[in-house]
Amino acid sequence: MPTNSMSYGGAKVLHAPDDQALVDRFAAVPSEALRGDSKRIMIDPDKVGRDLARLVLSVIDLLTDLMERQAVRRVENNVLSDDEIERLGQTFIALQARMVELKTAFGLENEDLSLTLGSLRDLISDSE
């Protein structure tokens, strides 16, 4: 039986690593179920500008991720010329740079863009 307990449901642990640091890493992984409810998009009337930016940037971040995966697939399938690969890569670099600027302008961190976007997020899982 484990000697370690976790912040959630220690009584539910049937076996855990002896190394507490590893147990903490398991506990640090957010529960999908809880994420699904607590990180839904909420617009606060007092911070509507920042919250809208957070929503819009989350969607852009997701779409960028999807486009990059599609670009990687096309590169791997050799359907792009060298020039097209270079231009595509530079476009992604410019997009990332712009995203950094916008996140800074609205005081947002990368974690702020990990909103639950319902079935949109499934697009990422499906493409992996």
Q: Which residues bind another protein (CB under 8 A)?
A: 8-9, 12-17, 19, 22-23, 25-26, 29, 31-34, 36-38, 40, 42, 68-69, 71-72, 75-76, 78, 82, 85-93, 124-125, 128
Q: Which is nearer to another protein, 36 or 107 (CB)?
A: 36
* Distance, CA of 49 to CA of 44 (rounded, Å): 9
Give me the least distance between CB of 85 and another protein, in Å please.
Answer: 5
Q: Which is nearer to another protein, 43 or 105 (CB)?
A: 43
**Closest Cα partner for 99 from 71, 128, 68?**
68
Give me the least distance between CB of 28 and another protein, in Å please.
Answer: 10
Q: Which is nearer to another protein, 40 or 107 (CB)?
A: 40
Contact in structure between 6 and 16 (CB atoms under 8 Å)? yes
Looking up tokens 């920042």 gives 50
DSSP designation for 46: G
Give me the least distance between CB of 104 and another protein, in Å please.
Answer: 21
Give me the least distance between CB of 106 and another protein, in Å please.
Answer: 21
Q: Which is nearer to another protein, 17 or 105 (CB)?
A: 17
**Closest Cα partner for 62 from 41, 86, 83?**
41
Contact in structure between 68 and 92 (CB atoms under 8 Å)? yes
The tokens describing 79, both together, are 């359907």
